[in-house]
Amino acid sequence: MHTVLSAALVVVYVCVLTWVALRARAAREYEEFSLARRALPLPLIFGSLCATYVGPGFSIGFVGKGFTSGALFLGVGLAYSLQNILVGLFVAPRLRALDDCHTVGDAIGQKYDRRCHVFAGIISVSVCTFLAAVMAHAGKVVLTEMFGLPGWASVVIVVGVTALYTTSGGLRASVVTDAFQFAAFAILLPMILLLVLGFHFEGGASAFAEKLWAATGEGIAKRTQLEIVGLIAAFLLGETLIPPYANRAFASQTTGVSRNSFVMAGVFSVLWFVVMIALGILARGVVDIDTKEDYVLLILVKRIMAPEWQGVLLVVLVSVVMSSLDSLMNAGAVAFTQDIAKPVARLGNGSALATGRFATIAIALVAGLSTPFVPDIIDGLLICYTIWASAVLPALVLGLWLRRPRPLAALLSMTTGTVVSLVAIVLLFVDPEMGRFSVIIVPALAAALLAYLVGHLIGRERRA
């Protein structure tokens, strides 16, 4: 009976979400599809940023990491919070001030040249697609665990519904639905924490501190110093201005809205990480200690909540997945149109809009088919963080701050960062005993920065 009720709640939620997306209206022009005419106010940008980063990794994944590693991953999460605040203060306003920019690739193209523009676009689309696969994997975990659905059916449901409204409405539909979803899970997930504290946790503050200390000690003991440094570096740099965030910086009404949205989102993330890690610690008294990380939150909910209320939590987790997934689909589609298709072929407004919608569907299909290759939620994120931080971030940030950046520097940096990170990722997939994915980002980023320096010293300035 409770399974039927849960399914009914999910169906109702999807219908409401679709209605919200339709109210945001279908995009009729490419400028609406890509940047919502650069007219999004502070509340929508703030809510959408939070909904985008509070995906499965920062909810399901972080509860699991709190369960196994305690405060270690609180420190890792706070590195992300710091990054968001620094981006808001120093980088996002500079992006918003650029003329005629839709994407990170556009910004790199303006600062360097066309080759760098297209290269950045290829990396942007690839990273968005694999991140979307991580979100689809998380959706599969949720629906399979709660309903017992086949994995492929869970992926089709989550990816299909998200692609439906994202393809129609573009960025505005994504932002509006994200803000709606953010309001839902920002209230309901912390309520689980209060429920555990009130009815299922015994021993008070001293018992909590004991579990926190034990989990943190276990987490540190399982990792080398290089792995811990790599984790902090990955969460400090790996999501810095990835395409969905950059799109929101470009789509803000003003540079002030762009700055304040990122700073506020960074502050909110501090509170979010504290709640998620606390849930993981509290779960140690409820969930079997050998439970897989990605399933800790789901099993905790099953143990502490009445069956009829589990459907409410299911709705929350589905919204968490979809709010990140729609942002990644839209950002990847815009990057494909703006950074790959447009530089190759002249596209009018109608052709660009059609290309963006086609790319959204293509990214959804590839992401869905790629879910079997996702190791787990956090490792999936770390793979994408490593590629982005080493392949794109040095060229982007240095290009925004240097007065006369050299195209050769960006090209060498992006090539080196891409090759080093991909080779290391493939080696770890082939032989997991070689190490964890968290160790890759440090050498890959160092190699990309060194390549940028060499290119800057020997390269010529961009021709006017």
The Cα 192–Cα 287 span in angstroms is 14
Which range has the top average pLDDT, 192-201, 243-252, 355-364?
355-364
Q: In the predicted model, what is the mean pLDDT of residues 361-378?
A: 93
Q: What is the 3-state secondary structure (H, E, C) of 240-252?
A: CCCHHHHHHHHHE
The Cα 150–Cα 135 span in angstroms is 17
Mean pLDDT of the chain: 85
Question: Residues 296-327: pLDDT tens digits?
Answer: 988 887 787 776 666 767 777 777 787 788 88
Exposed e or buried b for every residue in 264-288, given b needs 16+ CB within 10 A? bbbebbbebbbbbbbbbbbbbeebe
Q: Residue 313 is which amino acid? A: L
Question: Residues 408-462: pLDDT tens digits?
Answer: 999 999 999 999 999 999 998 888 776 778 889 999 999 999 999 999 999 887 7
Assign 41 to helix, strand or coil. coil
Q: In the predicted model, what is the mean pLDDT of residues 342-361?
A: 88
- Do 338 and 106 contact (CB within 8 A), yes or no? yes
DSSP type of residue 286 = T
Kindly indicate the confidence band of residue 369, based on its pLDDT and cuts at 50, 70 and 90.
very high
Q: Is the pLDDT of residue 111 over 80?
A: yes
Residue 13: predicted pLDDT: 66
- Do 241 and 95 contact (CB within 8 A), yes or no? yes
Radius of gyration of the chain (CA): 21
Domains of the chain in sequence order: 2-376 (1.20.1730.10)
| Cα–Cα distance list, 288 to 291, 456, 464 (Å) | 6, 54, 64
The Cα 49–Cα 324 span in angstroms is 9
For the chain, counts of helices (H) and of strands (E): 21, 0
Assign 347 to helix, strand or coil. coil
Q: In the predicted model, what is the mean pLDDT of residues 372-377?
A: 89
Question: Residues 9-19: pLDDT tens digits?
Answer: 666 766 766 66
